[in-house]
Amino acid sequence: MRFILAAFTGARCGNQFTMWSILLAIGVMCSASTAAAQRVRGRVLHEAPPRTAIGLVHVSLLNQKDSIIRDIRTDSTGIFSLSAPQPGRFRLQARRLGYQVVRSSEFVLTVGEVLTFNFLLPSRRIELEPVTITDKREMEKRLRLYGIDVRSFNNARRITREKLDRYDDGFHTFIDVLRLQNIPGLMIQQGNSGEPCVYSSRASAGLTSGGCMRVLLDGVLAPDLSDIEPASIELVLVVDRFSSSGQFGGGNADDGGPNAGVILLFSRGNAP
């Protein structure tokens, strides 16, 4: 990425110095030795005037291999603070949906040192896909192509593209999205095969036992949920056992089925 050195001053005051730089955003860095653990802190602001604070920005501390070793979200005032596990060379990365990803230049943290970075994030234009309005008869026809009963569709818990966009930030997986919906009786466990299992505790008529729900992507069994990116999905339908067992055969008997319900995933452009 481009790095523009705006100014550098070598004036010192004790063990303290100040350096100014710009990297698609303006970073202000000042350091001071303290008795506490080494730390980086700062604030994230809009690049455009009047440069107001940006909340819920993911700020990550990266090592020399660009691996994330610490991660935090800014508060409503745009402030963040991250501690480094040990002294060394690091970089900071700031990212949020609707803004360009910004990385600082590499810096050195010594024992007990505190550095301050203030990011200015430039906005990023997001191209919205056209919305198609389909009448009821066409909707029912498309549902039947997937073998879905209209009643199951109407009774299902829906996770729309609008909800998925909230977690399309590069940090959340599809499994995280399901977990964050707080659907009663639904939890993420490890199945007998070692892969993630969407476990429904309401799989039996008496609600006394559960099982892994069957997951279908565009009508085909999805082998591993961890391979699915939220950005690739347009619609999710969570159908309980009472609506799904006759159509889809329920969940995996080895994990407590056989009628645990089904989760129907539709990739972009394939939703009914």
At 269, give phi and psi (nearest 5°).
90, -5
Residue 254 in this model has a pLDDT that exceeds 50: no
Residue 10 in this model has a pLDDT that exceeds 70: no
> Residue 126 falls within a domain, yes or no?
no
Residue 19 in this model has a pLDDT that exceeds 50: no
Band of pLDDT at residue 60, cut at 50, 70 and 90: very high
Query: Domain tally for the chain?
Result: 2
Q: In Å, what is the CA distance from 272 to each residue of 61, 225, 229?
A: 41, 21, 20
CATH number at residue 103: 2.60.40.1120
**Range 28-51 average pLDDT:** 73
- Nearest to residue 26, comparing CAs of 58, 57, 48? 48
The proportion of the chain whose per-residue pLDDT surpasses 70, expressed as a percent, equals 62
Same domain, residue pair 111 and 199: no
Sheet holding 186-190, edge to edge: 186-190, 196-200, 211-212
Band of pLDDT at residue 265, cut at 50, 70 and 90: confident
User: Residue 242: which residues within 8 A CB-CB, separation 6 or more?
Assistant: none
Residue 132 in this model has a pLDDT that exceeds 70: no
pLDDT at 189: 79
99-102's contacts with Cβ under 8 Å and 24+ in sequence apart are 99/54, 99/57, 99/123, 99/124, 100/24, 100/124, 102/23, 102/24, 102/25
Side-chain half-sphere of 18: how many Cα atoms within 13 Å?
8
Same domain, residue pair 113 and 140: no
Same domain, residue pair 19 and 112: yes
Query: What does pTM read for this prediction?
Result: 0.44
CB 238 within 8 A of CB 215: no
H helix runs in the chain, sequence order: 136-145, 150-155, 161-165, 174-180, 241-248
Same domain, residue pair 38 and 160: no
Output the six-digit token pair for 175: 């499994």
**Range 143-158 average pLDDT:** 64
pLDDT at 129: 60
Q: Which of 121, 149, 177 is the last residue of a domain?
A: 121
pLDDT at 170: 65
pLDDT at 79: 94
Q: Which of 75, 96, 121 is the last residue of a domain?
A: 121
Same domain, residue pair 23 and 117: yes
DSSP state at residue 255: G
Same domain, residue pair 148 and 115: no
Give 110 or 10, the one with higher predicted confidence: 110
Residue 171 in this model has a pLDDT that exceeds 80: no
- Nearest to residue 183, comparing CAs of 166, 198, 204, 168? 198
pLDDT at 125: 67
Band of pLDDT at residue 215, cut at 50, 70 and 90: confident
In the numeric block, the tokens 């700020």 are attached to 59
> Residue 128 falls within a domain, yes or no?
no
**Range 190-201 average pLDDT:** 74
Strands 157-159 and 233-239: what pairing? antiparallel
Q: Which of 87, 121, 155 is the last residue of a domain?
A: 121
Q: In angstroms, rounded to a whole number, what is the distance separating the alpha carbons of residues 246 and 104?
A: 55
- Domain enclosing residue 76, as ranges: 4-121
Same domain, residue pair 103 and 13: yes
Strands 58-62 and 157-159: what pairing? unpaired
Mean pLDDT, the chain, whole residue set: 72
CATH number at residue 170: 2.170.130.10
Band of pLDDT at residue 59, cut at 50, 70 and 90: very high
pLDDT at 41: 94
